[in-house]
Amino acid sequence: MFESIPNNVNLESNPKLQRALLKWQPDFLAWWKEVGPEGFQQDQIYLRTAIGVGQGGWAHWDYVKMPDYRWGIFLANPRKADTIYFGDHIGEKLWDQVPGEFRKELRRLIVTQGDTEPASVEQQRLLGKTAPSLLDLRALLQVNVEEARHLWAMVYLLHSYFGADGRDEAEQMLERRSGHADHPRILAAFNMPIRDWLAFFCFTTFTDRDGKFQLASLAESAFDPLARSTQFMLMEEAFHMATGEGGVARTVRRTAELMKQGVDPRTVGAIPLEIVQKYINEWSSASNDLFGGEDSTNAANYFAGGLKGRFNENDPGKYSDHSALEGMYEAKVFQDGKWETKNIPLRRAMNSVLLDSYHDECARIVERWNSVLEEVGVPERLSLPSLRFNRHVGLYGGHAYDPAGEPLDPAAWQAKRGQWLPSPGDYEYVRECMVPVYEPGKVANWIAPHAKGVGGKPVDFPYVQFH
Ligand code: BYC
Ligand code: FE
Ligand code: FE
């Protein structure tokens, strides 16, 4: 069994880890069968499998049946630094074991990260039934097997470094369920339904991008196995985000081309830009909530302990002060009828600092979608809503702000909500657009074709061979 698990963590000579995995792997496969992608399990899918960190390339492409996918365990190559470079322990050696004083916090970070991975697979499980092309179906299933590998990456850490409670947490990863009333996933966005492919593309743009920023900040951790596990996960993440960005871009292109021809997208089963905008509003705001509170003791403790850094904390020229004991983060809030500036001590504001880096990147993505509109020659534009819009967590949580970030009273919010967020009718309309297309090289009517294939294959390659 262990020969079939690609790894660079000496699994072959680690009886303790082998014993733990021997018990966990069958439960993982049972979970995959129960709530993994519905259908396609017996089909041959042209998939990328992570096989190593070496120079010869880290991934292998071939046809594989999903239950035979080789979920592996990898650590990225060692960092340049061998000492801690932020927080209270700067200059001390990086940890290759979990220090007793941070055991609880590290376990919590790893469990929170790990929990999102199977959650997303559960959220996406029905989408294959309505894939707009074979290449899109392949992309979905690629994302699904890789998110499952990310679960493996976190379970490896729990099994190897957290003893009996780690094994217990690893079991619970397979017991919680996205959207379940009694045992839901930990973070809110991972309990929301991903109803259709436009939602999938927005999720992979905005929510997987939260993954990128969280993984990157954990890749700065003093706990070296965590840092190197998350660093490796980032390799796979790039494709997930590209799937999202490209998917929305193709949706927008198709709609814009119709508009340019004077055709109302609704008359041909394509998706109007105002619905695309509402989906952007919904998924970007839900993803902003994933960063936690703008003012957070947890975040301050994580930074002080060296558990979780800022985005690219160690890049030359990025930050001059790595202890972050001085300085304030200024947050603008509307209170008692006027704007006020709230000063948050920098360490307590680490969630905000990370959220700001994320938000800047999201804004650049939306601009790339706008350049599609410009290229096709229609005047409409999409926008990224303000960080204050539709928040449920943190400073702005539960307060009404419009997409431009201006405050409004609860009645006005209720009246306008349907202009900004998808209505039941919008979901229903998009659902009707979702017609599956499984013929190589063909694509559904609501979305433009891919410009190129993947894994060295052309667009019309049979990426899925049905049994
Ligand atoms: N929903 O101090 P606070 C990914 C809780 S995505 C529900 O403000 P803190 C992926 C919080 O637990 C990346 N509850 O924030 C993407 C705390 O509870 P207690 C996932 C929430 O602690 C797509 C309280 O509110 N990785 O990989 O700094 C597909 C106050 O918390 C939420 C990580 O998140 C929420 N949104 O938490 C597949 C990295 N936000 O203590 C995969 C690990 C906060 O009052 N996690 N709460 O009981 C962390 O670094 C941090 O836990 C958080 C922020 C970023 C979540
Ligand atoms: Fe992931
Ligand atoms: Fe991902």
Token output for 435 = 């017609």
Q: Is the CB of 120 under 6 A from ligand 1?
A: yes
Helix (H, G, I), strand (E, B) or coil at 145: helix
Q: What are the residue ranges spanned by the domains of the chain?
A: 2-465
Mean pLDDT by runs of 10 across the 467 residues of the chain is 88 94 96 98 97 85 97 96 97 98 98 98 98 98 98 98 97 98 98 98 98 98 98 97 98 98 98 98 98 98 98 95 97 94 98 98 98 98 98 96 97 97 98 98 98 97 97
pLDDT for 54 equals: 75
Nearest residue (CA) to ligand 1, atom 44: 292
Residues 6+ apart with CB under 8 A from 79: 94, 224, 227, 228, 231, 314
pLDDT for 2 equals: 77
The amino acid occupying position 209 is R
pLDDT for 228 equals: 98
Please identify, by atom number, the ligand 1 atom nearest to the C-alpha of residue 295: 8
The amino acid occupying position 420 is W
Nearest residue (CA) to ligand 1, atom 24: 292
Query: Beta-carbon neighbour count of residue 97 at 10 Å?
Result: 10
Helix (H, G, I), strand (E, B) or coil at 192: coil
What is the CATH architecture assignment of 2-465?
A: Orthogonal Bundle (1.10)
CA dihedral 266, 270, 272, 273 (to 10 degrees): -170
Place of tokens 């927008």: 252
Report the candidate in 303, 119, 317 with the shortest Cα–Cα distance to residue 210: 119
Q: Are 114 and 173 in contact (CB under 8 A)?
A: yes
Q: Is the CB of 191 under 6 A from ligand 1?
A: no
Pocket test for ligand 1, best of 110, 113, 124 (most atoms within 8 A of CB): 113
Q: Is the CB of 115 under 6 A from ligand 1?
A: no
DSSP 95: B
Q: Residue 196 C-alpha to ligand 2 middle, in angstroms?
A: 20
DSSP 79: P
DSSP annotation string for 407-455: B--HHHHHHHHHHHS--HHHHHHHHHH-----STT---TTSPPPSS-ST
Query: What sign for the dihedral angle of Cα 340, 343, 349, 353?
Result: positive
Q: Residue 8 C-alpha to ligand 3 middle, in angstroms?
A: 21
Q: Is the CB of 372 under 6 A from ligand 1?
A: no
| Burial group, residue 73, by CB count within 10 angstroms (0-12, 13-18, 19+) | buried
Strands 464-465 and 44-50, how do they pair?
antiparallel
d(CA 414, CA 25): 47
Query: Beta-carbon neighbour count of residue 172 at 10 Å?
Result: 14
User: Which strands form 59-65's sheet, in the order they lie side by side?
Assistant: 59-65, 44-50, 464-465
Residues constituting the chain: 467
d(CA 41, CA 32): 10
- Whole-angstrom Cα Rg for the chain: 22
Q: Are 231 and 76 in contact (CB under 8 A)?
A: yes
Strands 328-335 and 464-465, how do they pair?
unpaired
CA dihedral 210, 214, 215, 217 (to 10 degrees): 140
Residues 6+ apart with CB under 8 A from 31: 118, 174
